[in-house]
Structure formats: structure tokens, C-alpha cells
Amino acid sequence: MRVSPYLWCGSALLVALVLSLTLGSEPFPLEDIGRTLLRGFGLLESSPETETDDKIFFGLRLPGSVLMLLVGAALGGSGAAYQGLLRNPLADPYLIGVAPGAALGLVTALSVFRALPVSPEITTLAASLPVAAFLGAILTVFVVYRIARVDSSAPVTTLILAGVAIGAFATALTWFLMLQTEYNSNRIVLFMLGGYSQGGWPPVLTALPYIGAGLIIIILLARPLNVLQFGEEQALQMGLPVERVKLVLILAASLAAAASVAVAGIIGFVGLVVPHVIRIIWGPDYRRLIPLATLTGATTLLVADTITRAVASVRVLPVGIVTALMGVPFFIYLLRREKRSYW
């Protein structure tokens, strides 16, 4: 009996979620989680001792894990979408400018705040930074798309080239601004290494609509993505409104990726490696690939984040580093094992 891939990925996600909630710098035993949840639903009595535990769980642990789940899903799904629409195995959610744009937005906002005669309240600062990052990301993608557009079409190769070029430009500007001021460079570096968030529910609630909308659109466009793989000419002849599909896909994937970066920093490798892993194991049909990549992206990030938090008191280990250390060897292993060409 073949086990459905959805069952595999779904169970993996569940296990990862449980691990994420129970482990961390301080273990939170499974039974305690159960009791905490029951207390949350009012089915069990709470007392002063349990109050702290409950606050920690509902206020920090749970939203933290949910955020990683959401961001991982966004990265996995948008990574797969980009690889499909650009028809390039090296594509990841940041290729056409989301990451460099977000970093630039963040640094610009910080520089502006620094230049103001009166320093703004730190809470205003903290609230506005994700917005700045998001806007930076979206604006950059917009610029890339406009540059790549010739007449009414945006050739894929041009998109990639423009993305890389604008990305490099944005990165150069970012470094320049960063070096101008030592102020808050710590914050910027943390952002670029990924996994840094404000904690609590606000980031989750902020990112959810964009990530949710983006992923739903991508899933709905799975079939057109399959058709696109034949090549744009072919797809056009088969009746697909190619440019429109591309535009919508770029929009959806960028929204999800930009929201992720805005609330959790730049986390690499998940969007690149996860879709390939799914492809190697379960084939390139996007109707399956997208949902599975979404699920597995969430699983991967949850695991990476758990590791990060477990060692946090000993080592500063940003999530982005863990994803690279985890993802790359596994991916190479799969590549070598797979004799046939899977792309």
C-alpha cells in the first residue's frame, strides 16, 4: 500500500510542530502542553502557578511556532512557484528582488529614523520596520518586472537577469547605508541572517493575510504552472494566457515571500531546496508539488528553528545558518542518489 505523500508530509509537519512546542531553551513536556491547551479552552482550572506557564505557552511558544510554520510554508510554496514560472532550478523566493529589497527597505527606514532630530519611540520603530521591509521588497519586484517587460511580455531570462542586477544594486546600497552608521547594525545583521521576529501574535496576524492569499493563489494556479513547463510558446498555443498567469504568479509568490521576510528576516535555502526535494521524491507535477512543498517548507523551518532555540543560550545561531547546514547536505545526498534526471 503506497502511503499518500500528503500523509507523509502532513505527519512530518505535525511531528515538527510538536517538537517545536516541546523543545527549546527550556523543555515544555507534552502532558503540560495538553493541560495548557485544556486550560486555554476553559476545560481545566487554572491557578497562579499555571498562569506563568500558560502565558509563556500562549504568548510566546505557540505564536513563535505558528510563525515559523507560516513562514516556512510561504517559502516552500513561493519557491516552488518561482522555480515553475521561471523554469529555472536555481530560482528561490528571493531571486527577483524580495530579499535585497526588504533589506534595503529596512536599512533605509533605520537611516531615516537616525537622521531625525528626535529619536522615535522604540515601539514605533519596531512596528514600522516590517512595513518598511515589506514595501522595499514589493517595490523592488515591481521595478524588476517593469524593467524586464518588453512590449507586453516579460521574458523569463530577462526577469532573472533584471532581478539579479537590481538585487545586486539594492544590496550595494544596503551595505553602503549600513556602513554609514554603527547604529542598529546589530539589528540589520540579525535581519539578514533570518529568524529574528518580535515574538507574540502580532507578526503572525500581520503576515497571515498575505501569506495565505499568496499560497492559495499559487495552489490554484498549479495546473497552469504545469502547462508553462512546456515552454511559453507551446503554452500560448495550448490556450494559456501566459503573461497574465506569470504576472499573477509573480505577485502571489512575491507577496508571500515579502511578508515572510518582513516578519522573520531573510531565511535562505528553504525556498530553494525544499521544492527540489519534493520533486526528486514525488515528481514534478505542480498540482502535487506546490502543496507538498508548502507543507515540507513549514516542517523544515520548524525543525531548524527548534534547533536554533535549543542552542540559543550557548551559541548565537540564526535560523538561516541552520537551514543551510541542514538543507544542503541532505539535498546533495538526494542528488547523488537519484540517477535519473528529475528536472
Partner 1 sequence: MGAGPQVVGRDDHSNFPPGVKTVRSIGSTSGKLNREGILALEPDLVLAAEIHSAEQIKTLENLDLSVFLLSNPKTFPELFRNVRLVGQLSDHEVEASRLAASLEIRVNTVAEKLRGLPHRPIVFYELDATDVRHPWTVGPGSFMHTLISLAGGENFGASMTQDYPRVSAETVLRRDPDVIVLGDSIFGVTVESVRQRAGWEALSAVKAARVYTFDDDLASRPGPRLVEGLETLARLLHPDRFP
User: According to the binding rule CB under 8 A, does residue 283 interact with partner 1?
Assistant: no
* Candidates 84-92, 152-160, 190-198, 331-339; binding stretch for partner 1 (CB under 8 A): 190-198
> For residues 30 and 126, which CB has a smaller minimum distance to partner 1 in the complex?
126
User: According to the binding rule CB under 8 A, does residue 167 interact with partner 1?
Assistant: no
Q: Choose, by CB under 8 A, the member of 5, 64, 72, 284 that binds partner 1.
A: 64
Cell (9 digits) for 158: 530577462
The pattern of x and - marking residues 224 through 263 that bind partner 1 according to CB under 8 A reads ----------------------------------------
* Candidates 50-58, 70-78, 168-176, 236-244; binding stretch for partner 1 (CB under 8 A): 50-58
Contacting residues for 108 by C-beta, under 8 A, at least 6 apart: 132, 136, 177
Q: Nearest 5°: CA angle at 209, between 271 and 219?
A: 50
Q: Choose, by CB under 8 A, the member of 47, 52, 152, 341 that binds partner 1.
A: 52
Cell (9 digits) for 182: 554603527
User: According to the binding rule CB under 8 A, does residue 15 interact with partner 1?
Assistant: no
User: According to the binding rule CB under 8 A, does residue 187 interact with partner 1?
Assistant: yes
Q: Choose, by CB under 8 A, the member of 18, 37, 44, 56 that binds partner 1.
A: 56
Cell (9 digits) for 219: 495552489
Report d(CA 104, CA 159) in Å as an integer. Answer: 20
User: According to the binding rule CB under 8 A, does residue 51 interact with partner 1?
Assistant: yes
Beta bridge partners of 153: 150
User: According to the binding rule CB under 8 A, does residue 39 interact with partner 1?
Assistant: no
How many residues contact partner 1, by CB under 8 A? 33
Q: Choose, by CB under 8 A, the member of 39, 61, 246, 279 that binds partner 1.
A: 61
Residue 7: how many other CB atoms lie within 10 Å: 10
Cell (9 digits) for 339: 540517477
> For residues 197 and 254, which CB has a smaller minimum distance to partner 1 in the complex?
197
> For residues 131 and 281, which CB has a smaller minimum distance to partner 1 in the complex?
131
Can you tell me whether residue 79 is helix, strand or coil?
Answer: helix
Cα Rg for the chain, rounded, in angstroms?
21
Can you tell me whether residue 152 is helix, strand or coil?
Answer: coil
- Among 291, 251, 262, 259, which residue's Cα sits nearest to residue 275? 291
Beta bridge partners of 150: 153
Q: Choose, by CB under 8 A, the member of 200, 212, 251, 326 that binds partner 1.
A: 200
The upper half-sphere exposure of residue 161, i.e. CA atoms within 13 Å in the direction of its Cβ, equals 8
The pattern of x and - marking residues 99 through 138 that bind partner 1 according to CB under 8 A reads --------------------x-xxx-xx------------
- Among 73, 93, 67, which residue's Cα sits nearest to residue 309? 67
> For residues 217 and 267, which CB has a smaller minimum distance to partner 1 in the complex?
267
User: According to the binding rule CB under 8 A, does residue 199 interact with partner 1?
Assistant: yes
40-49: long-range contacts, CB 8 A cutoff, minimum separation 24 = none
Considering all CA atoms of the chain, what is the largest pairwise distance in Å, rounded to the nearest integer? 69
Local structure of residue 340 (DSSP, 8 states): S
CB of residue 328 to partner 1, shortest distance in Å? 25
Q: In which element (H, E) is residue 106 found? A: helix 98-115
User: According to the binding rule CB under 8 A, does residue 316 interact with partner 1?
Assistant: yes
Residues that bind partner 1 (CB under 8 A): 24-26, 51-52, 55-56, 59-61, 63-64, 119, 121-123, 125-126, 184, 186-187, 190, 196-202, 309, 312-313, 316
